[in-house]
Structure 1
Amino acid sequence: MKCCLLYCCLHPEDYCIPKKRLVEYWFCEGLLNQFDRISDAQMQGDYIVNSLLSACLLERDGEYFVKMHDVIRDMTLWIIREFEVTENNFFVKAGAQLCEEPDVKAWERVKRMSVMKNNIKVLKETPKCPNLRTLFLGQNELKVISNGFFQFIPHLTVLDLSRNFGLRVLPKGISELISLECLDLSATFIEELPIELKSLTKLKMLDLSYMHNLSKIPRQLISNFVKLQIFRIIFRMWLLQNRDYPNEDNVSNGDNEKLMEELKYMT
């Protein structure tokens, strides 16, 4: 339960954390007794959330969200600093008004990192982070991610790029993330899923919600994710009539039949 509490402080101050998404991230991180199925893990995740609420370590924010009180978050971050000499290092600069990516030397040995809700536009470095498991980059102003950015992050498990409205292209170097189990691209302006995503065979969660510019999903990409358990896709129907990519290599072209055929292979 302690690990789950520490995980919450990756979010900015006063941030509304979706309960369902939080449990799904815990599941992909292996924090829920290493359950193999999200359906089994959900019950334990809900129990942990309710326990943290009962202990006043989290606060309710409506039916579907929770918050961490500022004092509790500060205390949690202090606890994290006390563990800096261990493998559980955290680097948290969420909502810190950053305009550039942090110096790579500051986080090359951390296990979990959050720079979400900042103003970062470009990720140009090639960090070497052998221990990094969690990377929150959501709600920035990302436009460019260099091909080398993901090259030396071999154990990354959760990658959140959501709500980067200027992000239109994923780097081909994302294929290096062979340990990735959760990829959140929701509410980005990415136009095409690169075929290089095929190498992410451990994916359990893929969120393509509200990707209104998404025009191409290569054939046999989704079905290649044989461990996929959580898959979301919501976009405007007119995008399904896209003519920029040939039908034979694009399951998002035409009607829904090709995409539904791909989904048959999900576990």
Structure 2
Amino acid sequence: MNEMLEFLKFCYEDLDGENKKVCFLYGALFLEDSNIFVDYLVECWKAEGFLHSVDEFRDACDRGHNILDNLIKVSLLEKSAVKRHVRMNRVLCSMALKISSEVSDHNILARPCEGLKQSPKEEEWTSARQISLMDNDLCSLPAISNCTNLSTLLLQRNNNLMMIPESFFLSMQRLRVLDLHVTAITSLPPSLPCLTHLRALYLNSYKGLIELSSSLEALVHLEVLDIRHTGIIALPIQIGRLIQMRCLRMSLSNLDTTNPMSKVISSISSLEELMIDVDPNTSWSDQVMKTITEEVSALTRLTSLTFFFPKVECLAIFFSIGIYNSVKYHILDYFEYQLCKCLKYANDEGTHPMISEVLTKTEVFELIDHRNILNLSEFGTENLSELRACSVEGCKDIRCIIDGDVAPPHAFKCLERMVIKNASSLHSIWKGPMTVGSLGRMTSLTLFNCPELKKIFSNGLIKQLSELKHLSVEVCHKIEEIIIKIENHCLDPRTLPSLKKLVLHDLPNLRSIALNDLLIWPSLERLDIASCPSLLKPPFTSINAINLKSIDAEQSWWSTLVCQDDAIKERLRSFL
């Protein structure tokens, strides 16, 4: 353990730049081994001033992510199993707290998730530079008289915290990060305007908060404001006077449906990132949505937009304002990819020229509950050349995903991931002749509840998928073979050379995975089988699939297993 600590301390001291060191120490505010959302962490670093000499919000975030990658590389942070999250283990947390206690004017008070019902003593508050009391059971906060050194205060997820003393913020003029999300507080205290150096304010999921005070305009350095999923029914016009605001996240759910923003959004001219959560089930008039779209379209510095356009016509308004060619947009959900241009298109029918145009610049496309379209090629295969991920869900009329009769060479050349769910009429993924170089980067294919699907790898598709690592087929009751014999003659034994994981669930008619046992399966590590009663003979011998590490299957499947000889059976049973 001592050797480990010495090594980690060496890694810390060897960091090139004081900003990387303070970024590392900031991680001690979070519960050891907990998942820390990287975008939130980087925003806090930015608010604290750790990312020096960067004016643009997006550029600062990029620099923060570079520091994050560096800290991971030198073992001072760990990647989490949850995408876009990191962790700091117990040893690293302890080391960071110890180093902080030895650094002048950098004391950290970190007591997250300790079940605290009472706040720490006043002297602990007054000596701290950064305080984390998140995930506790605090019911009240003390009336602190001297917190002039405090720069970060994390109080999120104290569900019983109902009130902040009126004078609480009086001495916190240096506070830069304040997180109060998921608390029971119903109003902010009159001392809030004292936070003149505040950069990031998180009030999201603050259900009892129904009003933002006009005094918010005193927070002249505020850059990030998150008020999603609150009870707020109107935005004060004073928000438009926050000239340093770079990132605003909000919801429309509780806002007045007649005039929800009253030109507030368009007046925040410095905005670079805007997220507006909209409940699709909320009834909004066409005029209101047109007004909101025009508000958003007036923001000429946007680099990231998350917004629900209820009609394609609203999207057309957005792009007709004149900033389309000068600004790049990150549309809608991240879909597990960081900083991608994403489009979620739901509850419509047919094709529309505006959607096809947007798709030319889209990297992640989600098509949901769409009608009167037989395949994605109807949007124009050439318009889909930049896609990295594609999800098709609940589109009952789709019969195939790609029409090879109109597909150019190298179609979907950038596509890495495809997810198809609840496609009741889907017969195949690729229809018609296979074009050279198509789908060459695909690493993951998921098929779920496609009741008419019989062919997965038709017309030579399988030969294109040299990079496929994950294949999941579930609830596709007409599937009899994963690799159909009649469609895939003379396959190279090294077919699917990168496949690591194969998931087969609820396939009652599945009889075989491959046409014979000649495939090598050089990378396969895991086979997951459930409710496949007709699959009696997996395509493995005593010499192929040499990297296979586990077979997860029901006991009943093991008892019906058919093998050519005892050696193969024993090998497979070793995975029990």
Contact kept in structure 1, 2:223 and 2:246, CA below 8 Å: yes
What stretches of structure 2 of length at least 5 have no aligned partner?
1-19, 272-300, 302-576
1:256, distance to aligned residue in structure 2 (A):
4.5
Paired position in structure 1 for 2:35? 16
Q: Which of 186, 191, 194 is matched with 1:173 structurally? A: 191
Q: Tell me, in whole angstroms, the C-alpha distance in 2 between the residues paired with 1:265 and 1:40.
A: 14
Q: Tell me, in whole angstroms, the C-alpha distance in 2 between the residues paired with 1:194 and 1:124.
A: 22
Q: Which of 22, 26, 32 is matched with 2:51 structurally? A: 32
The 5 A counterparts of 1:153-232 are 153-164=172-183, 166-189=184-207, 190-211=209-230, 213-219=231-237, 221-232=238-249
1:140, distance to aligned residue in structure 2 (A):
0.8
Paired position in structure 1 for 2:163? 144
Paired position in structure 2 for 1:82? 102
- Secondary structure (helix, strand or coil) at the match of 1:122 reads coil
Q: Tell me, in whole angstroms, the C-alpha distance in 2 between the residues paired with 1:109 and 1:9.
A: 17
Q: Which of 100, 104, 126 is matched with 2:118 structurally? A: 100
Structure with larger RCO (C-alpha < 8 A, sep 6+): 1
Paired position in structure 1 for 2:76? 57
TM-aligned CA distance change 1:105 to 1:56, over 3 Å: same
Contact kept in structure 1, 2:178 and 2:198, CA below 8 Å: yes
1:128, distance to aligned residue in structure 2 (A):
0.9
- Secondary structure (helix, strand or coil) at the match of 2:250 reads strand
Aligned pairs, how many?
Answer: 250
What stretches of structure 1 of length at least 5 have no aligned partner?
243-252
TM-aligned CA distance change 1:255 to 1:111, over 3 Å: closer
1:235, distance to aligned residue in structure 2 (A):
4.3
Q: Which of the pair is proportionally richer in helix? A: 1
1:8, distance to aligned residue in structure 2 (A):
0.8
Paired position in structure 2 for 1:248? none
1:254 aligns with 2:259: yes
Contact kept in structure 1, 2:226 and 2:248, CA below 8 Å: yes
* TM value normalised by structure 1: 0.87
Contact kept in structure 2, 1:19 and 1:64, CA below 8 Å: yes
Q: What is the percentage of aligned positions where both structures have the same residue?
A: 29
Q: Deviations over 1:69-108 (max 9, x none)?
A: 122112222222233xx11111111122211111111220
Paired position in structure 2 for 1:109? 127
Q: Tell me, in whole angstroms, the C-alpha distance in 2 between the residues paired with 1:74 and 1:126.
A: 27
Q: Tell me, in whole angstroms, the C-alpha distance in 2 between the residues paired with 1:87 and 1:131.
A: 8
* TM value normalised by structure 2: 0.42
Q: Tell me, in whole angstroms, the C-alpha distance in 2 between the residues paired with 1:131 and 1:71.
A: 27
1:71 aligns with 2:91: yes
Paired position in structure 2 for 1:250? none
TM-aligned CA distance change 1:68 to 1:130, over 3 Å: same
Q: Deviations over 1:6-58 (max 9, x none)?
A: 00111112221111111111111110124222222122211111111112221
